[in-house]
Each structure stands twice: as C-alpha cells, then as structure tokens.
Amino acid sequence: MKKRFGWALSVLFAAGTLLSACGGQGGDNAGGNKEDTFSVAMVTDVGGVDDRSFNQSAWEGLQKFGKDNGLEKGRGGYDYLQSASDADYVTNLNKLVRSDFDLIYGIGYLMGDAVKEVAEQNPKKHFAIVDTVVDAPNVASITFKEHEGSFLVGVVAGLMTKTNKIGFVGGMEIPLIEKFESGFRAGVKAVNPKATVKVQYAGAFDQADKGKAIASSMYASGIDIIYHAAGGTGNGVFSEAKDLKKKDPNREIWVIGVDKDQAPEGEVKIGDKTYNVTLTSMVKRVDVAVYDVAKRAQAGDFPGGQTIEYGLPENGVGIAPTQDNIPDNVLKAVDEWKEKIVNGEVKVPTNRKEYEQFAATVK
C-alpha cells in the first residue's frame, strides 16, 4: 500500500517569488562532462512549457530550484524537453536519461504510461510523475486534490452568476479532469441550487480554437461564467470572452482560470480603460510540488514508490491571490467553505457518481 503525505508548502517560496518562464526548446544547449551537482529536468505534455497554465507552472518551479541552487540551464543543471505529441513522451524521457539527469519529471496525467515504461527500463534512475500514480519504486507520484480547489471557485461562480447559467470546459474527458468538474459543480450547487452547470469537453489540451468555439456557444446561450480545466485549450475561452467584452464593455462576462493565477490572461483594453474578464482562478501549486520533491531528492530523501498529495490543508490548491473582481462577502463565504472542507464537515466529490450523491443532500 502506498503512503500518502501532505507537505507544508508555504515556507518553500518565502525567500522570493517565482521567476517567469522562459521559452525555447531545452535539452541541447550544454555539453561536456556532468558536473558534480544535483541535476533535474522535465518533459512537458503537449500543452508546452509556455501554456500559461500547468506545464508553465512546473517549469517555473524547476527554474526556481535551479536558480536557488546555483545551477545553469542545460545538461548537468536544470532543463526541459517539450513534447509536440504523445509519441514524443518516451523519446524525450530517454533523452534525459542519456543526459544523466539525477531526477526526471513527467508533467501530466497523459505521461503516466511513458514514465512507467522508462522507469522500469532504468531502475537506478529517479523519476517523478505529476497528476497520476505510477507504481514503481523509483517513481515519486505527485497528486493534488483538484476537486477541493474547484469547489471553492464553484462557490464564487454560484454566488456571482447573474443568469444562473454557468459553464465548465474540460480538456480531455479523463478521471483527472472529472475531479475538477465534479468539485466545481458541487461548489456551485452548495451555494446556489437553482444554477445549472453546462459541461463540455474539447477532447484536447492544446487546441485554443476548440476552446474558443465552445465558449462562443456557451456565452451565446446566456452562460455568464465559464470555468476551464483545459490547459492551452482554455486560452481560447479567454480569447472569446475578451472579444465579447470588446463588443460590449458593459456586459458581465467571466472566465475562471486554472492551475496558475490567470488574471493576466483576462486583461482587455478598450479605449483608455482596462478591463479583466478573469473572475478568479483555481491555483494548483505544481511549481511548489516540483520544487519540493526536487529538494527532497537532492537531500537524499527521494520519495520513490510514494504518492505525495497536496490539498487545501497544505495550501496546494485554492483560489488565486488576485481577487479584485470578487466582493468581500463572497470571499468570506469561500473562507467558510474552505474551513468546512479542511475540518471534514464537507466531503467534496471526485467524480460524477459522488457528485450526484452530494447534490441529493442539497436543498
């Protein structure tokens, strides 16, 4: 049986803020002999390192770890390889193995099989996988309680909708994203039983055009708030909301971001005035988790074979620090529901079956 651990996260980044992500393809910029230092690298999923969401957050954590430890980007330090498709996963992981990195991350649920395959072939190497569990003694599995953070942004949406019509746009219809969906729907239901949540999946995490088309249809139907858990596909939701805001600056139309504080994605300038269509974001501290596990591995405490889970008690998930568009009474309600979840009064559903059971208790 795997052990589950929560780690206090807030102290890890107290010394400074995260560095912004840098672009470009990694992995080929350094040569020579491997230095006598701890080295770490990651393979992105198809969203890419500059997806302004999940992969970017992981890369920011890796960059901070590298800078804090005096490492240089490239072989022998810290680096990444970007995947254009799922066919690149095993190839990229093996490339990092050959480059002799001490710890190699696979970023995302979709990389689970590839990490398992490469880890089994290289039992002396250390790997970590984000967002799923790989049962191998040389793999640390990093997971999050996304349903808990999604519940909180559901509370925001349920209290702030003017139409009682809310949308959820998912990337791929997989158990991981079902956690986002179910937690969000439960948060809405808990505070506004009259509201409805329309759910639609794009079938991809890297197709902004699909996200934009889905958002266009949803907003046209009267939906005024959309929560996306779709990676790069979600950028299209922001694009559509901003386009509609430009056409009618008085229209209250919102997007709830995911993984990172996506307030910068919602800025739209109309004349000499700047608006923001980002209502809030469900932040998932992938950056902190990546940093945390790298630090443990560097110290000789690599949690191989373990599942490390980050939830509300560890501040691993929650609502974004940018809260300019949320009234104080709504923020107070968020805090109250957070306390109920943390102390066990409320069990947030992780899938649709659990959501139906939860909804049946709400009057």
108 and 130 Cβ atoms separated by less than 8 Å: yes
Phi, psi for residue 118 in degrees, rounded to 5: -70, -35
Residue type at position 292: D
Q: Residue 218 is encoded by which pair of tokens? A: 């949803």
Provide the pLDDT confidence category of residue 363 given band limits of 50, 70 and 90.
confident
Residue 170 CA to residue 349 CA, distance in Å, equals: 17
Angle between helices 328-342 and 146-160 (to 10 degrees): 150
Q: Dihedral, CA atoms, 202, 208, 209, 213, nearest 10 degrees?
A: 60
49 within 8 A of 80, measured Cβ to Cβ: yes
- Which residue carries 């901003």 as its tokens? 242
User: Are the CB atoms for 206 and 44 separated by under 8 Å?
Assistant: no
Same domain, 204 and 338: yes
Q: Which helix (H) or strand (E) holds 267?
A: strand 267-270
* Domain shared by 127 and 150, yes or no: no
- Output phi, psi for 36, to 5 deg: -85, 60
Q: Are residues 173 and 259 in the same domain?
A: yes
Asked whether residue 274 falls in the same domain as residue 194, the answer is yes
Q: How many angstroms separate the CA atoms of 264 and 268, rounded? A: 9
Tens digit of each residue's pLDDT (9 = 90 or more) over 246-266: 999 999 999 999 999 999 999
What is the per-residue pLDDT for 37?
A: 85
Both 234 and 304 in a single domain? no
21 has pLDDT over 50: no
pLDDT band for 53, please (50, 70, 90 cuts): confident
Averaged confidence pLDDT in the chain: 90
> Does 177 score more than 60 pLDDT?
yes
* Look-up of token digits 């250390």: 126
Structure tokens at 298: 């560097």
Task: Give me the CATH number covering residue 167.
Answer: 3.40.50.2300
How far apart are the C-alpha atoms of 259 and 320, rounded to whole Å?
9
- What is the arrangement of strands in the sheet containing 254-259, beginning at the earlier edge strand? 196-201, 165-170, 225-229, 254-259, 278-284, 317-319
- Report the domain count for the chain: 2
Judge if 57 and 183 occupy the same domain.
Answer: no
Counting Cα atoms < 13 Å in the Cβ hemisphere of 358 gives: 24
| Lookup result for tokens 């088309």 | 213
Query: Does residue 315 belong to any structural domain of this protein?
Result: no
pLDDT band, very low/low/confident/very high, at 148 (cuts 50, 70, 90) = very high
| Residue 59 counted as domain residue | yes
In a domain, 321, yes or no: no
Q: Are residues 111 and 46 in the same domain?
A: yes
Strand partners, 197: 166
Q: Is residue 320 part of a domain?
A: no
88, 108: one domain: yes
Q: Are 254 and 106 found together in one domain?
A: no
**Residue 266 belongs to a domain:** yes
- Do 175 and 61 belong to one domain? no
Q: Are residues 150 and 271 in the same domain?
A: yes
Summarize pLDDT for 188-239 with one digit per residue, the tens: 999 999 999 999 999 999 899 999 999 999 999 999 999 999 999 999 999 9
Residue-wise pLDDT for 103-138, tens only, equals 999 999 999 999 999 999 999 999 999 999 999 999
Strand, helix or coil for residue 87: helix
pLDDT tens track for 298-310: 999 999 999 999 9
- pLDDT tens for 339-352 read 999 999 999 999 99
pTM (2 d.p.):
0.82
Is 319 within a domain? no
At 315 the pLDDT is: 86
Residues 349 and 223 in one domain: yes
2: helix, strand or coil: coil
Is 82 a domain residue?
yes
Residue 39 belongs to a domain: yes
| Residue 95, domain extent | 4-144+285-310
